[in-house]
C-alpha cells in the first residue's frame, strides 16, 4: 500500500522483506554510502526492466518494511509484478537482491605503507593500554556488519554533552551525541605490547612471554632466538575474524634500555625488529611504556614519516587525563620527540591527543583541564573517552572492550577515535 506524498515528491510505501535481506541491504547501503530508499528505487527500476522475474527468494518470516519511493514507481512495480504473477513481497525481495548483486561490497581500502601508531605518555595510569586496545579493536571490526559510532562533527559538541554523559553514566541511558551505524574498517591490526609490565598482554587474555625464551627485546638487541611471527597470538577470532593480533610483552623489557645502549643505530632497533611483519598488517599500534628512555626514542623513530608516506598516516598518539600531572608529562614527552626530530632530522607527526577517563563530575579541575587540552589545537584532541565501568569490567574478564560491551559509550567513543585517526 502507499501513503500520501513525502517531501521531495516521494511517497511512503509499506511492504514486507525477509529479515536477513533487510540486514544485507542496510549494510551494503552503508558500505556504498547511499540512502536505503535510493538503493530500493534503483533495484525496483532495474527489476522492472528485466525480461522476466529472477530466481524465487524464500520470503518466509518476512517482516514489515517501509521506504519512500518516487510517486508512481510503486504502481508501475505493482503492474509488472502482476504481469509476472509474483507477489509484491516476492518482487520487492527480488529487486533488493538484484541491487545487492549489482552493487557488491567494496574492497577494504588498505594503506600502501603500513601505518605505525605509537600510543604514548611518560605518565603512567592515563590509560594508554586501554586506548591501544580499543583503537586496534575498532580498526579491525568487520566491514560486513554495522557498529554504533559517535559521529559528532566537532569536539565542542562533546564538551557540551559531557555533563549530560556524566549524569547518564549511573543510569545507562543513551549517549547524547549523534550515533550512526557504520561498517567496520576491516583492517589487519597488530598490537605490540612494548611495556615490560605486560598490561596489554594481560588485559587481552594472553600470556606474557617467558624470560628464558624469545621476545621483542631480544630482536631489538640483535639476539633473536627465532622468528618474531611465532610469538604473535590472534585475539578473539569470533569477533574480529583473524584481523586482530597481539605481540605479547616479556618482563625482559625492563632491561631494554641497558641492552639498547650497546646496539648500533639504536633508535632504529624497533623498526628493524618489526619490519619483517609489516607486510602482514595494515596498522601496527605500539603500546609504549611510561618512560623517556632509549626505548621511547626507538618507538618515536618507528612512528616517523617515511619516504612516500603522507603526513598524519603514522606518528604519535598521546593519551592524557583531564588533570594537571598529565600536562607536565605531556611537556616532557613532546620535548623528547621534538629533540629526536632535530637530532635525527626526521618528521614525527602528532596524530592527536586522547583525553581518557574523563568525568566532568570531578569538577573544575576536570572541566578546565579538558578545555586546556582542546585549546592546544596542534596537536588537536581527537578523542574523549569517559571513565565508565565497561572498560574495567572488560579488563577483569580479560576480553576486548568492543566484544565485551560493543554498544557501550566507551566502545562508541573508540570507534569515533579510530575514524579520526584514519
At 382, is the secondary structure helix, strand, or coil? Answer: strand
Kindly report the number of other CB atoms within 10 A of residue 94's CB atom: 24
CA distance 341 to 239: 39
Q: What pLDDT score was predicted for residue 285?
A: 98
Q: What pLDDT score was predicted for residue 307?
A: 95
CATH of domain 115-421: 3.40.50.300
- 379 preceded by a cis bond (ω within 30 of 0): yes
CA distance 391 to 128: 13
Q: What pLDDT score was predicted for residue 50?
A: 95
CA distance 331 to 122: 9
Q: What angle do CA 410, 147, 385 make, to 5 degrees?
A: 15
Q: What residues does CATH 3.40.50.300 cover in the chain?
A: 115-421
Q: What pLDDT score was predicted for residue 157?
A: 56
H helix or E strand, kind and range, residue 286? strand 283-287
Looking at the structure, give the CATH architecture of the domain made up of residues 2-102: Orthogonal Bundle (1.10)
Q: What residues does CATH 1.10.1220 cover in the chain?
A: 2-102
**CA distance between the termini of the chain:** 44
Residues of the chain with pLDDT under 70: 1-8, 152-177
CA distance 130 to 153: 24
Please name the residue that has the C-alpha cell 518516487: 70
The residues, any chain, with a CB within 8 Å of residue 284's CB and separated by 6 or more, are 114, 115, 116, 117, 189, 190, 192, 274, 277, 278
Amino acid at each position: 500500500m502507499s501513503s500520501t506524498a513525502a517531501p521531495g515528491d516521494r511517497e511512503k510505501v509499506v511492504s514486507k522483506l525477509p529479515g536477513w535481506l533487510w540486514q544485507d541491504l542496510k549494510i551494503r547501503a552503508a558500505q556504498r554510502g547511499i540512502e536505503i530508499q535510493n538503493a530500493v528505487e534503483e533495484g525496483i527500476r532495474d527489476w522492472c526492466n528485466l525480461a522476466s522475474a529472477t530466481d524465487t527468494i524464500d520470503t518466509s518470516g518476512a517482516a514489515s518494511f517501509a521506504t519512500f519511493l518516487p510517486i508512481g514507481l510503486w504502481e508501475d512495480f505493482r503492474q509488472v509484478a502482476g504481469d509476472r504473477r509474483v507477489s509484491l513481497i516476492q518482487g520487492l525481495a527480488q529487486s533488493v537482491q538484484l541491487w545487492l548483486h549489482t552493487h557488491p561490497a567494496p574492497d577494504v581500502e588498505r594503506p600502501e605503507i603500513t601505518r605505525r601508531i605509537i600510543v604514548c605518555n611518560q605518565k603512567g595510569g592515563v590509560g594508554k593500554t586501554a586506548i591501544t586496545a580499543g583503537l586496534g579493536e575498532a580498526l579491525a571490526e568487520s566491514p560486513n556488519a554495522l557498529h554504533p559510532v559517535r559521529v559528532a562533527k566537532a569536539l565542542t559538541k562533546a564538551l557540551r554533552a559531557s555533563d549530560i554523559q556524566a549524569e547518564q553514566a549511573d543510569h545507562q541511558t543513551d549517549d547524547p551525541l549523534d550515533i550512526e551505524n557504520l561498517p567496520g574498517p576491516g583492517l589487519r591490526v597488530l598490537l605490540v605490547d612494548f611495556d615490560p609490565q605486560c598490561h596489554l598482554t594481560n588485559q587481552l587474555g594472553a600470556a606474557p612471554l617467558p624470560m628464558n625464551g624469545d621476545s621483542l627485546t631480544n630482536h631489538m638487541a640483535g639476539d633473536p632466538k627465532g622468528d618474531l611471527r611465532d610469538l604473535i597470538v590472534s585475539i578473539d577470532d569470533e569477533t574480529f575474524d583473524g584481523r586482530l593480533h597481539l605481540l605479547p610483552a616479556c618482563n625482559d623489557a625492563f632491561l631494554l634500555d641497558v641492552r639498547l645502549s650497546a646496539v648500533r643505530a639504536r633508535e632504529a632497533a624497533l623498526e628493524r625488529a618489526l619490519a619483517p611483519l609489516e607486510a602482514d598488517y595494515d596498522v601496527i599500534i605500539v603500546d609504549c611504556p611510561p618512560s623517556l628512555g632509549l626505548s621511547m626514542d626507538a618507538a618515536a623513530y618507528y612512528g616517523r614519516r617515511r619516504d612516500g608516506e603522507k603526513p598524519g598516516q603514522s606518528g604519535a598518539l598521546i593519551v592524557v587525563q583531564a588533570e594537571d600531572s598529565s600536562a607536565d608529562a605531556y611537556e616532557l614527552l613532546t620535548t623528547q620527540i621534538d629533540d629526536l626530530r632535530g637530532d635525527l632530522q626526521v618528521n614525527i607527526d602528532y596524530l592527536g591527543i586522547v583525553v581518557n577517563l574523563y568525568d566532568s563530575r570531578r569538577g573544575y579541575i576536570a572541566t578546565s583541564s579538558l578545555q586546556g587540552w582542546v585549546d592546544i589545537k596542534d596537536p588537536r584532541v581527537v578523542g574523549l573517552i569517559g571513565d565508565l565501568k565497561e572498560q574495567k569490567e572488560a579488563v577483569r574478564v580479560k576480553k576486548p572492550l568492543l566484544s565485551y560491551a560493543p554498544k557501550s559509550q566507551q566502545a562508541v567513543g573508540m570507534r569515533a577515535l579510530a575514524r579520526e585517526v584514519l
